[in-house]
Amino acid sequence: MRFEVVKAIYQAGLEDKRVCFISGDYGHANTEEFKRDFPGRYFNAGMSEQNIIGMAAGLALSGMKVFVYSIVPFITLRCLEQIKIDVCHHNVDVTIIGGGGGFAYANAGVTHYAIEDIAVLRALPNMKIISPSNPTEARLLMQAVIKAGGPAYVRIGRGKEPDFELEYKPEIGKAGIVRSGDDITLIASGAIVAEAIRVRDMFKEQGISVEVANMHTIKPLDGDFIRARAGTRRAIFTLEEHNIIGGLGGAVAEVLAELPQRPLFKRFGVPDRWPDVVGSQQYLRDAVGIGAREVAEKIRDFLR
Amino acid sequence: MTDAIDTKALIAHAKNIRRTIVEMIYRAKCSHIGCSLSAADILTALYFGVLRLDPLNPNDPNRDRLIMSKGHGVAALYATLAERGFFARDELDLYGTDGTRLANHVVRNALPGMETSNGSGGHGLSLGIGMAIAVRNAGNGARVFVVSGDGELEEGSVWEALLFGSHHQLANVTMVVDQNGMQSEGSTETIVDIEPLADKFHAFGWDVAVINGHDFTQLIPAMRVSGSRPRVVIAKTTKGKGVSYMENKWQWHNGSPNDEQYKIAMEELL
């Protein structure tokens, strides 16, 4: 996804002289073009996330349109207060691109996991939170974010996500139907939508029709979609590569909890404890219970 | 701003500003008085002798910017902006009332001329660096001033910003340190010593001037200088400056005078 996102920002840089790009020493070869073609508008600010966010806000307060880019935990949590005050309170056009959502930096260990970012950033007024599922969607959503402007947080993968066909045109704040179905709805967000599609395929063999919805915008949340499904589905599930507390599942639960009547509901996410092993991204998903097979088994048990 | 320094007029402005500070904080029974009084001459010098701006056009893209990074000194900023004509002084009557937008720390656009929200230490310089890049790219000659406390320099983000500022030779940024030597619970020296401060800024690649922060003949020339590197003006100040019983008392970092103390303060500031 990162290549598509950086390409979209480069395109914006061509069309709009206000576009600035600040990297926290992250990006390697894929930011070279921006650096080469827009001198004075590209900065590798090194490892100084608090300064990066403050600077980005200062630029935006002076009329620039700013994109910052680093690995999720560093560019969200380390500089959280700068995001809160300098970006969100000032309500300026700064978009934070976080690479390595969820367990994308699987072998890197807990310092590099990004499984609490959404919970934390969701509580900041003015913030939009976008979590694309694959490269095509990342490109289209990034174009939409560029148009809409910040404050925004775009949580992407590491660059190895499989592409898959989308049956909808992604729109900020609107859930996308990745695969249709009418017994139950499985809502996912981010690269793990691919896992949700696998869950759906497993149920297909058993004659249960699973709708896979992609809640690529976690804030503002598509409450209308959730309310509509609450009235028509036997059960709703959420699946996210994020702590079970406060992320997509929590956000959907908040909507459902306030309805007078609701279907069965269960969240799948990373249990609230640190993984003590590392491995591939798939290994980690399976290890913490958010891999397709285990999710499918638990859904089956739950519906029984 | 013209080159001549009218010390007499500046002293009169600073006195009005100090009287407004004491009045506001006395009436509202809050909040940071000592560190507002220490900054009063710095802000007077900036707004009446250095900054190129038009109070009636506070969003002019070509204006010089002032970021009050020491947001707890907001009373000094309110009083100075009123004195400079950004708004009528009676706007400040709301300070300390329920429902007012006038907080005890700086909030962007609470009143005209308030550029940023500050109150958590160490945010201002990075904001200033960002603005400095933007105005440098725009080529409009605007300068950016960041007024920082000295206790605030304990925040690591300040030093990240200093590194970046010198690496990119942002000569249009000036940080003014209101070095009153005290923070919330005592002297900065006894809490976490920040000295030798000038050496540290030098080592980070910034030009440094150390001056008396209550002497306009030192303040204004030091802040008017625009060299080839970013600049720090270390303004040595007295916490509580102008009110004898508050001077150099860290206990007056935060607090409001009682009736008797208020009377004495206003007599001393005549």
For A179-234, the pLDDT digits (tens) are 999 999 999 999 999 999 999 999 998 889 999 999 999 999 999 999 999 999 99
The two tokens of residue B77 are 């900023």
**Number of other CB atoms surrounding residue A275 within 10 Å:** 17
ipTM of predicted complex: 0.95
* CATH value at residue B98: 3.40.50.970
**A189 and A297 share one domain:** yes
Report whether A54 contacts A77 (CB < 8 A). Answer: no
**A183 and A150 share one domain:** no
- Residue B1 has a pLDDT of 52
Characterise B124 by phi-psi region: left (phi > 0), alpha (psi -120 to 50), beta (else): alpha
For B142-166, the pLDDT digits (tens) are 999 999 999 999 999 999 999 999 9
**A181 and A290 share one domain:** yes
Q: How far is B54 from chain A (nearest CA, A)?
A: 17
Nearest residue in chain B measured CA to CA from A91:
B108
Report the distance separating Cα A254 and Cα A299, nearest Å: 21
Considering CB atoms only, which of A62, A66, A86 is closest to B135? A62
- Residue A298 has a pLDDT of 97
Mean pLDDT of chain A: 96
Contact (CB<8Å) B127/A54:
yes
**A63 and A118 share one domain:** yes
Beta bridge partner(s), residue A128: A152
Give me the amino acid identity at B213.
G
For chain A, how far is it from start to end, CA to CA, in angstroms?
Answer: 38
Mean pLDDT of A83-107: 97
More confident residue, A123 or A276: A123
B2 occurs within a structural domain = no
Please count the structural domains in chain A: 2
On whether any CB of chain B is under 8 Å from the CB of A43, the answer is: yes
For B101-147, the pLDDT digits (tens) are 999 999 999 999 999 999 999 999 999 999 999 999 999 999 999 99
Instruction: Identify the domain boundary among A122, A155, A188.
Output: A155
On whether any CB of chain B is under 8 Å from the CB of A46, the answer is: yes
Q: Which domain holds residue B89?
A: 7-268
**A6 and A150 share one domain:** yes
Mean pLDDT of chain B: 96
Report the distance separating Cα B130 and Cα B133, nearest Å: 5
Considering CB atoms only, which of B117, B131, B156 is closest to A58? B131
DSSP states along B101-144: S--SSB-TTSSTT--S-B-STT-HHHHHHHHHHHHHHHTS---E
**A208 and A133 share one domain:** no
Report the distance separating Cα B86 and Cα A65, nearest Å: 28
Contact (CB<8Å) B126/A41:
no
On whether any CB of chain B is under 8 Å from the CB of A70, the answer is: no
Instruction: Identify the domain boundary among A105, A123, A155.
Output: A155
Nearest residue in chain B measured CA to CA from A65:
B134
Report the distance separating Cα A187 and Cα A210, nearest Å: 10
Mean pLDDT of A35-53: 96
* Sheet hosting strand B65-68, strand order edge to edge: B65-68, B144-149, B173-179, B231-236, B207-212
Give the CA-trace dihedral at B97, B99, B103, B109, to 10 degrees: -130
- Residue B184 has a pLDDT of 87
**Number of other CB atoms surrounding residue B13 within 10 Å:** 24
By CB atoms closer than 10 A (0-12, 13-18, 19+), residue B262 is: middle
For the whole prediction, is pTM greater than 0.80? Answer: yes
Count CA atoms within 13 Å of residue B128 on its CB side.
Answer: 33
Chain B residues lying within 8 Å of A90, measured CB to CB: 108, 116-117
Q: How far is A15 from chain B (nearest CA, A)?
A: 17
For B214-245, the pLDDT digits (tens) are 999 999 999 999 899 999 999 999 999 999 99
A26 occurs within a structural domain = yes
More confident residue, B29 or B1: B29
B1 occurs within a structural domain = no
Nearest residue in chain A measured CA to CA from B164:
A45
Pairing outcome for strands A65-71 and B65-68 = unpaired
Instruction: Identify the domain boundary among A99, A126, A155.
Output: A155
Report the distance separating Cα B225 and Cα B215, nearest Å: 16
A62 occurs within a structural domain = yes
Of B159, B160, B149, B145, the C-alpha closest to B120 is B149
**Number of other CB atoms surrounding residue A160 within 10 Å:** 11
What radius of gyration, in Å, describes the C-alpha atoms of chain A? Answer: 19
The two tokens of residue B245 are 């019983």
Considering CB atoms only, which of B116, B160, B163 is closest to A90? B116
The two tokens of residue B206 are 């910034």
A160 occurs within a structural domain = no
**A7 and A137 share one domain:** yes
Chain A residues lying within 8 Å of B173, measured CB to CB: none
A270 occurs within a structural domain = yes
- Residue B4 has a pLDDT of 86
User: In a mutagenesis test of the A interface, which of B64, B120, B123, B168 is the best target, namely the one with the most A β-carbons within 10 Å?
Assistant: B123
A191 occurs within a structural domain = yes
On whether any CB of chain B is under 8 Å from the CB of A5, the answer is: no
Q: Which domain holds residue A210?
A: 176-303
Contact (CB<8Å) A64/B125:
no
Please count the structural domains in chain B: 1
Residue A29 banded pLDDT, cuts 50, 70, 90? low
- Residue B28 has a pLDDT of 95
A165 occurs within a structural domain = no
3-state secondary structure of A151: coil
| 8-state DSSP, B64 | -
On whether any CB of chain B is under 8 Å from the CB of A44, the answer is: no
Is the pLDDT score of B208 beyond 70? yes
Contact (CB<8Å) A45/B164:
yes
A274 occurs within a structural domain = yes
**A130 and A264 share one domain:** no
Of A184, A48, A157, A33, the C-alpha closest to A101 is A157
Contact (CB<8Å) A58/B157:
no
For B41-71, the pLDDT digits (tens) are 999 999 999 999 999 999 999 999 999 999 9
Count CA atoms within 13 Å of residue A65 on its CB side.
Answer: 16
Give me the amino acid identity at A26.
Y
Longest dimension (CA), chain A: 61
**Number of other CB atoms surrounding residue A100 within 10 Å:** 24
Beta bridge partner(s), residue A235: A184, A264
* CATH value at residue A104: 3.40.50.970
- Residue A167 has a pLDDT of 82
The two tokens of residue B249 are 């008392």
A133 occurs within a structural domain = yes
| 8-state DSSP, B244 | T
Name which of A29-33, B83-87, B161-165, B171-175 the model is least confident about. A29-33
Q: How far is B269 from chain A (nearest CA, A)?
A: 36
The two tokens of residue A77 are 């949590």
The 3-class SS string of chain B reads CCCCCCHHHHHHHHHHHHHHHHHHHHHHCCCCCHHHHHHHHHHHHHHHHCCCCCCCCCCCCCCCEEEECCHHHHHHHHHHHHHHCCCCHHHHHHCCCCCCCCCCCECCCCCCCCCCCECCCCCHHHHHHHHHHHHHHHCCCCCEEEEEECHHHHCHHHHHHHHHHHHCCCCCEEEEEEECCEECCEEHHHHCCCCCHHHHHHHCCCEEEEEECCCHHHHHHHHHCCCCCCEEEEEECCCCCCCCCCCCCHHHCCCCCCHHHHHHHHHHCC
Interface of B with A (CB under 8 A): 61, 108, 115-118, 120, 122-123, 125-138, 156-157, 160-161, 163-164, 168
**A233 and A92 share one domain:** no
Considering CB atoms only, which of A43, A58, A60 is closest to B126? A58
Report the distance separating Cα B189 and Cα B202, nearest Å: 20
